[in-house]
Amino acid sequence: MNITIEKMNRSHISEIAEIERECFSSPWSENALSEELDNPNARFFAAVAEGKTVGYVGVHSVFGENYIDNIAVTSLYRKKGIATALLKFLEATARDEGDLFISLEVRKSNEKAIRLYEKLGYKRVGERKRFYTMPTEDAVIMTKELKK
């Protein structure tokens, strides 16, 4: 399967909002996603396969620090390396910019996402108690240093 990673543009927004609704209890709306198109600190990338948007990653980047807001792949396209491709693309972009690190929070129970990040070299660096709602849950903070 051919996957392309594209900088998010208006044509991706409705399908990304659909992926958000499928994957998260507090999904980002189309409006919230559209606002990121004009945000100079945002790096949002879409994964496109078979003519549709099947995954995305959204990051906020300030002074060389990258914070992942969300990453998701629609269920029919999971376990095909799409999240890996998105994260590798993000990392290459961050390295090109000379950035310091990429960091994220993940629900403590989300073992498959934690495995994904560990496989790509992210380390557990801490926890945030009761970070998530619906349901309430602690977050694990995972970070990949880029300068080492």
Site residues for ligand COA per CB under 6 A = 23, 71-73, 78-84, 106, 110, 112-113, 115-116, 119
State the minimum distance, in angstroms, from the CB of residue 61 to ligand COA.
17
| Residue nearer to ligand COA on the CB measure, 2 or 147 | 2
Contact 41, 62 (CB under 8 A): yes
Residue 30 or 69: the one with the smaller Cβ distance to ligand COA is 69
Nearer to ligand COA, 98 or 126 (CB): 126
Asked if 61 and 94 count as a contact pair (C-beta separation under 8 A), the reply is yes
Q: How far is the CB of 96 from ligand COA (least distance, A)?
A: 22
Query: Minimum distance between the CB of residue 98 and ligand COA, rounded to whole angstroms?
Result: 25
CB of 68 to ligand COA, least distance (A): 7
Residue 115: C-alpha distances to residues 12, 30, 38, 106, 122 (Å): 27, 29, 33, 11, 9
In the complex, the smallest distance separating the C-beta of residue 143 from ligand COA, rounded to whole angstroms, is: 13
Nearer to ligand COA, 51 or 98 (CB): 51
Nearer to ligand COA, 66 or 98 (CB): 66
Write the DSSP string, 10-71.
GGGHHHHHHHHHHH-SSPPPHHHHHHGGG-TTEEEEEEEETTEEEEEEEEEEETTEEEEEEE
Structure tokens at 25: 């209890």
Nearest alpha-carbon partner for 83 in 109, 120, 50, 110? 120
